Amino acid sequence: MSPRTRRILFYFGAAGLVTILAWGVLGLPAYGQYQGPYGDLVSYAAVQSRHATDVVSAVNFDIRAIDTLGEEFILFTSVMGVVLLLRKRVEPKDVDEAAADVATGREKEPPSNAVRLLCLGLVGVSVLFGLYIVTHGQLTPGGGFQGGVVLATVPLLVYLAADVRVLHQIAPRKLVDAGEALAAGAFIGLGLVAVALQEPFLTNFLPLGTTGRIDSSGTIMAISIVTGIEVGGAFVVLLSSFLAETLERIPEEHRGEP
């Protein structure tokens, strides 16, 4: 198919698809006319039966926790896939390929003092902020997914301020890999504890505490924390895989001094 034919055919199809979508959207309730009882019921149930003031976290880590388990494993599996696809080549012929693929522009310029200062200054703040978001998901907007991403920026800031070796010192790949897998398993483990207590999988089995206090809402906080570790670990694995892909193709003599 020539690019021109393809484009014309695609526009026809896309126009049809948009028409169908528009037809469907026209059938939605008008703006502000939400009818479903779900939102009201969930807001009530989250606070009353789970002592969680952030309803979104209550939905994510308790009411629909099985969805979150699936989503966490989507991230886990995708990162495995990236690691697999970017794996180091082992055949001798690939060594030649790598040598031919030398690009001096890929090496990182030493960071300026301004960048160093800014990044190092942000490291402490980011650690604190990430931990806060992960641990306060049951009270205020946030939770494991958002906090995990904030925490994962810390090694990135360190990489920007220094170089990849320091990154590997503060976040050793083996430790991150193990932490990620352990956290993914711990989510299921928390669900299975409930089964051992003769409750359905992923039932909230910890004491619910006082609404509004940090130790409230039972397993919601526990699941939020393991999710935070998993998400943070996953992003660090991604970062270090992409960096390894780029940097390991540069032979030793081209590599700049840190």
Q: Which 35-74 residues touch other proteins, going by CB under 8 A? A: 35-39, 41-42, 45, 62-67, 69-71, 73-74
Contact yes or no for 219/205 (Cβ under 8 A): yes
Q: Which tokens hold the place of 154?
A: 């810390």
Nearest distance, CB of residue 223 and other proteins, angstroms: 11
**Gap between the Cα atoms of 181 and 57, Å rounded:** 22
* Residue among 4, 26, 105, 257 that touches other proteins (CB under 8 A): 26
3-state helix, strand, coil in the chain (%, to 5): 70, 0, 30
242 binds other proteins (CB under 8 A): no
Could you tell me which stretch among 4-12, 105-113, 137-145, 152-160 binds other proteins (CB under 8 A)?
A: 4-12
Would you say 6 or 106 has its CB closer to other proteins? Answer: 6
Nearest distance, CB of residue 238 and other proteins, angstroms: 14
**Gap between the Cα atoms of 104 and 63, Å rounded:** 52
* Structure-token match 């301004």, residue found: 114
**Gap between the Cα atoms of 102 and 88, Å rounded:** 16
Would you say 19 or 169 has its CB closer to other proteins? Answer: 19
Nearest distance, CB of residue 140 and other proteins, angstroms: 22
Q: Give the per-residue contact string, 167-196, with other proteins (x = CB under 8 A; - = no).
A: ----------xx-xxx-xx--xx-xx-xx-
Return the number of other C-beta atoms located less than 10 Å from residue 134's C-beta: 26
